[in-house]
Amino acid sequence: MIRDEQPGAAPPRPRALTIAGSDSGGGAGIQADLRTFAAFGVYGASAITAITAQNTIGVRAVHDVPAAVVAAQIDAVLDDIGADAVKTGMLSNREIIETVADRLRAHAVTALVVDPVMVAKSGDRLLREDAVSALRVLILPLAAVVTPNSPEATVLSGIDVVDATSAREAARRIHDLGPAMVVVKGGHLGGDTSDDLVFDGRTFEVLSGRRIATRHTHGTGCTFSAAICACLARGLAPLEAVREARTYVQGAIEHAEPLGGGHGPVNHLWRLSNG
């Protein structure tokens, strides 16, 4: 997107916009995204799609923001501040998805990261059944990178993702829906390592990392996609952005501090507190 700069002025800080739900517990959603942007030195703006009452144990209530208000938030940010990259998270219902897709096209957003949020870490559903087809048809074709976990990849592709072979076929099918790059995350699959599969329509690449035995993983999907978005805003190529985001999330999990009685959040600011 075009920057609004004064002649001779220093380049502004990279900017990113997150379009997602609010997590009252602070571990996921808008709150996780903005902390992640800050950790990468990126100015973060937000358009809130839903207000959730949740903590580390579960989701107690969800209130969808009217689609017109979601559109107004997006327009307000992009008409004035702008964004070098945008990510979507929880989009909740079909009307919001249709509205978000319309505004992304209107603002010619190309550096888009889509986290197809469907279910919370606690198991509570965050995307209505009738919205899945709209996500496939309207949002995925706009994406530079889409980051489904294995259950989300199963829904989007129709392939039961249970291992590396099925993940490859799911990635092919999701890529056929239009995104430039697909990252099928392996955190839900078994094994000693947590392997993410990257497919750009031509080649596959497996990014492998050590699996960490911890229950403090709330918001990892939001954090990963936000980190990719921040890296794109900073000018990294998509594959390099994915690699850097993996390193960041690995550290955020390793340095997580125990909070709450369920799935606690990762430590988004671990680099600042650990040098």
Could you list the active site residues?
Answer: 185, 217, 219-222
Q: 3-state DSSP call for residue 260?
A: coil
What's the rounded Cα separation, in Å, for the pair 168 and 182? 10
Place of tokens 């048809």: 137
Answer yes or no: are the C-beta atoms of 167 and 154 closer than 8 Å.
Answer: no
Give, as one character, the DSSP assignment of residue 130. G
What's the rounded Cα separation, in Å, for the pair 78 and 16? 10
Pairing mode of beta strands 43-54, 59-64: antiparallel
**DSSP 3-state helix, strand, coil percentages of the chain (rounded to 5)?**
40, 25, 40
Residues 6+ apart with CB under 8 A from 68: 99
Place of tokens 């600011």: 269
Answer yes or no: are the C-beta atoms of 32 and 222 closer than 8 Å.
Answer: yes
Q: Which of 218, 230, 251 is nearest to 35 (CA)?
A: 230
